[in-house]
Structure 1
């Protein structure tokens, strides 16, 4: 047995991370606000936990896979929070995307109690989470890495150790999210514009993915548009949140980020039209509504 771990947040990413730990031989406790997710995890071989405190008890590594900084703080320090029961020397691995300054504050608060904090946002999507093949952008003390590394390696294909200070991982993730959001918005604009020209957008996809204008996001998201399948692999609201964080960070540093600001407005408008919980390729549907383009479905 590799040891005891906990995963708090058994959504599309957290569930895959938890089952990857099970496959690696960890005894894993999992909890989530959704009882169905907890039941499904128990059926997969994990221990169902009633709260973060219950999940974290006796675990050497506690992985938090929630949406944002506020939820992370609640998982740690709220009623029945994990900080109550984590053993001294245990590591809290925070995978939520958040402002680096908030990551630093949460880390300082936890580390004052004799526990470790790894700032460890993730990238790769639900399928890679299920395969134990995520990219993780982690920062924290060597002591934290030494304790958590076997668990981190079980969940990742690429583990970047980015420095000794929490907040550095979060900063790297925000650069990724700036590019990802801009690229999704650009891909959706391009495919909707192609449709407005009356082009065969399946052929446009074929041509662009073999040309210099291609991007990872174009190649990954445009099939959702072609299939008229807006089941949320990554929801519009994720980029409303993340591009909003980028705007706040940039404003505080007096740094201009006009491209990400424009992309944020497109995600906001898509959300305002009722598609906030749909796949982020729904930005193409917004463009089609505005510009009179006809998309599949």
Structure 2
């Protein structure tokens, strides 16, 4: 579904960055960004850090070539803009400086250049750990179709903390996306204690069509990612802050996991919008 410009919220363009290494999967990452945000008035920044023997002119030529195909996923009635930023030194340092200046709402990046890997590559991991924006991790094997079924890991958070899902809720409601709530419980006692969590999530998402999946395993980052590959969803959402499963796993192991097939949106507390901000502001 594409919206006309007149149907879109009257707001400033959403600043969104996509970091690419210009490898074989870069076109997929940019295409998925354009697909997912096609109805959102955006200022896109394509970020690349020079490495090896490629100079800035060659990098820009490669990006222009990628954009020829990737632009097909844009909604042409939405007058978004695209600019290119070429970094010359340290990738993370220059990205942090640019983010401090532009305050990107969301950063997209590829997961890894290894198609079957369940671990983020070093650049993607550095971005996850150090950039305060919401992060979308796009795997090499992503299906370039708009997601209609998304899985959410049910975290043990207070109901008041659900505000971090506010704009994602608006996005889901607007497109009529099905949600899968995935709850982990190692035994029946834990299941009874945590069953109310699903009810709280259902209350928050009110009229959205939802499905519940209860898994009798330990709740870990990798267990969640492996499980959702078997329930035919097309993307996933996880909270990322000090007390959540993915964050704690990364701190304890030094590893951030990814799915070889499913894009993951990590929503961070620092990117929570004000309640008066409009639809799509955080996506």
TM-score by length of 1: 0.33
Structure number with greater Rg is: 1
Greater relative contact order, per chain length (Cα 8 Å cut-off, separation 6+): 2
When you count helix as a share of all residues, which structure comes out higher? Answer: 1
